[in-house]
Each structure stands twice: as C-alpha cells, then as structure tokens.
Structure 1
C-alpha cells in the first residue's frame, strides 16, 4: 500500500490531500490499496481522499450487512466532520454508497459507482469463491479482471486467506444475503444525488446491462464505459478511470 493508515478511536483509514472530500468505499474482497491510483491522483487535484476500512469481518454476524455498514460510514463521516461528500464505491462498496445515499442524502454532494452491486444480486451470491484449492481461487480472482495478470499473487493470497477462514467465510455469505435483501431497484428513482457510473465493458461479475439499469433508474446519472476492462476499473485501467471521473467532476463544478 502506497499510503499510510491512520487509527483514531474505532476507525482505521487513509487520508491524503486537502479540499473537497472524496470518500472511497472498498468492496468485500477488496483492500484499500486497490485505490492507490485514485488516492495519488485526486489528492494532487484539490481533493481530500479518505478511505475508511469497513468493519466487514469484525461486525457481529447478525448485524453484518449493507445497512449496518452504511450507518458505520455515516458515523465515520460525523467523527471526521466531513460534509457534502463525494462517495466512490466499487462492488459492495458501491452498494454501501447507494444505501448511504438513500438514508442520508443531505450529506451527499455526489456518488460514483463502478462495478457496483445493488441490482444484480445473483452475481453477488455466486461470484464469491467457495473454499477450495489455491488454483480454483486463483482462477476465480483472475475472472474479476479482463486481463488475468492484474490478479497478482498478493491479491490471490488475500482471497485465499479469506475463504479458508471459517469466520470470514460465514461473514462473506451473510453479506451476500444482505445484498439480496437490500436490492435498490425500487429506491433508485427517488434518489436525486448526481451519480457518475463508470463500468468495465467486460465486467463478468456485474455485467454491462447492470450499469445500463442503474443509469435508467437513477434520475441524475451519467454512464461511462471503459473497454477491455473487468469488475475493478480503478485497478485495471486507472488512468482512464481517473480521467473520466475528473472530467465529470469538473463538468459538475465539484
């Protein structure tokens, strides 16, 4: 990881730069380092980039879910005195961002989602690898990307460790079920927060039609595609991702 972790009270997070806050939400199998390029770039462009570590594996099982993490995020924003934020979420992080936007629209300036869950939940339930041998896990991790080489040994090792930890695996399945319960389809038409949707054209986890559905249902959204790109655009095509997002923020005067 390029950037140092800070710890205050119950919160662990990265904070780099000064200016309008961009608060980044990682996915279920994603680490904070997945956003190194976003952090480095936008912290040099007049933004304060903040990435809280979500308590995915430390929350009691019965409370493990999208709603709990959205509330945790709101508590963190209050603790840091961050107002009118731009939320950026990938995968489960996008879903948490969407639910937070539904619950606390008054604290939102804008929302950015990429490869987000929230509409297409059968992928959520099926795509998380079950316990198995290393090569099986490696193939599952590679499938997340258009270019399998992006799934480095470090990434594969992290996923392998999670799915072979019984406690973490149980929490992972609980989150997948929570995502199904918290489908956002009926909520999106009444969510007027400006939303930037950036999607890999070759996303196997949340396919392109999911992005099109988000764009149709959200009243104030713009959809952008990145070709030859899978589920984690900010990792696989960081330069294109940053350019698209920065241009959108400038168009909106954010």
Structure 2
C-alpha cells in the first residue's frame, strides 16, 4: 500500500472514499497493508477510510507508549477535521482505540476491535518476536495466523529487520510495557459507544476468552466469530471480515 500513502504536515496516511469516516489503527508488528482489503472495500460502500501510519519508531523512546500514540491519533483526527469517527483497531491498534475512547469519547461514533489488546497483555508481550535467527522469527510470525502461509517471506523479512534494529527493539519493548500499564479493564464498562468485536476462533495471541471478556465488560457490544482464523481476521479472512463489519454498521445505522 506504500503507493497509496501521502504525507501532509506531520502525518503519513492512506485515504479513500467519502461518507462516514472509519479510522483504521494497525498493530505493533502490523503494516498498513494488513488492511488492504478493508481499504479497498469500504470506500465503494459509502465510507471514507483513513489509515494513519502510527509513529511507532519515530517518537523519542521516552514517549513511545500507548498514551502518546493516542495523542498522535487525536492530532490526526483534528488535522483532518473529522468528527464521530468509527475507530477500527487490530492488536495494539485496538488498545490505542480504547485509550483514545476513554479520553475523547465525543469524537467516536463506534468502535471495532479485532484481536485487540487492552485486557490480556501477557499474550501480547509474548507475541513480540525477540531478536534471534530468521527461522525463529518465521515461526513466531506463522503462529499469528491459522494458515501459516499468510506469513509471507516479505512479511517475515520486515519483522526480522525490525526486531534486529536495536532502537526499534527498544521501542517495541517500551510499547509492550506501556500496554501492561494501561490495562483498560476498569475503564471499558464506562464506554457506551456501540462496539463490534470480530474475532478469530483460533486466535493464539489474544485468545477467544479475551473476546468474551471484552463482550462482558463493554455495555453495548456484539461479538462475531470467524472460524479457521487467527489474530488478524482482516488479513486472513478479508471477505468475511468485511461482510460482518458492513452488516453490523448497517444494523446500527452508522
């Protein structure tokens, strides 16, 4: 998706479509291309989709945390003059969306979480590949998906380069530690916005019980399961993911 990116001011992002804004938040090891199918589908169906490139590795180390990533998101939403957005987040992106909703509830019309962290950070931390040999990184990447072939050589190469860059590795660890500090369990019951939970039944990073806990804690949520699917439903089962989300948005008149 790099050819679709553009830079304005302090922000690099992809944008397409007109209508209700869906702001997509990628995960820690996830690229914007993880949402390529989402980005191509929803603009054809009456939505504006924006995917900001989160500054995971460009913030100063001391500011590399969930709080400052949510602050960056707020600056992006203000810059684009958006209001009542749908926040869609996977993994760390979901955690940022939850933190954002806690502090800026007036900006958010609805929340969509898929394989989100925010409740179960032990698994999130364990999923970060440590610096090591290529085969180890390949194995850890494949474990994210139900179908290991989704972890292409290009994806594994990108992760390998990231985790073997000392500063990026330190920033990855900083974000992981901040995710543990910013557990959202006490805040989620106060989040009144309608929420769509789309979860892979075979998610080994944020397992099914995490989705069930989100569903119990969120006051107005709907939970949808996708079988034969791991941690990144929008990548692994994009057609089913898009259809579930589109039907849910329609049912909620969003």
Q: Which runs of 5+ in 2 are unaligned?
A: none
Task: Measure how far apart 1:2 and its partner are.
Answer: 7.2
Deviates more, 1:202-211 or 1:119-128: 119-128
Task: Measure how far apart 1:125 and its partner are.
Answer: 1.6
Query: Distance in 2 between the 1:249 and 1:211 partners?
Result: 19
The corresponding residue for 1:32 is 32
The corresponding residue for 1:181 is 181
Alignment of 1:118-137 (within 5 A): 118-137=118-137
Q: Which runs of 5+ in 1 are unaligned?
A: none
SS at structure 1 position matched to 2:4: coil
TM-score by length of 2: 0.99
Q: Is the 1:113–1:196 Cα contact (8 Å) retained in structure 2?
A: yes
Alignment of 1:170-249 (within 5 A): 170-249=170-249
Query: Distance in 1 between the 2:102 and 2:38 partners?
Result: 25
Query: Distance in 1 between the 2:138 and 2:102 partners?
Result: 36
Asked if residue 9 in structure 1 is aligned to residue 9 in structure 2, the reply is yes
The corresponding residue for 1:143 is 143
The corresponding residue for 1:158 is 158
The corresponding residue for 1:105 is 105
Q: Is the 1:3–1:36 Cα contact (8 Å) retained in structure 2?
A: no
Query: Alpha-carbon deviations, 1:72-91, whole Å to 9, x = none?
Result: 10110000001110000000
* Stretches of 4+ aligned residues off by more than 4 angstroms: none
Task: Measure how far apart 1:211 and its partner are.
Answer: 0.2
Q: Is the 1:28–1:92 Cα contact (8 Å) retained in structure 2?
A: yes
Query: Alpha-carbon deviations, 1:182-213, whole Å to 9, x = none?
Result: 00000011111111000000000000000000
Task: Tell me how many residue pairs correspond in the alignment.
Answer: 254
Query: Distance in 1 between the 2:119 and 2:176 partners?
Result: 12
Query: Distance in 2 between the 1:217 and 1:128 partners?
Result: 26
Query: Alpha-carbon deviations, 1:106-158, whole Å to 9, x = none?
Result: 01010000000000010122110101110100000000000000000111011
SS at structure 2 position matched to 1:234: helix
SS at structure 2 position matched to 1:33: helix
Query: Distance in 2 between the 1:146 and 1:17 partners?
Result: 31
User: Superposition RMSD on alpha carbons, in Å?
Assistant: 0.8
The corresponding residue for 2:167 is 167
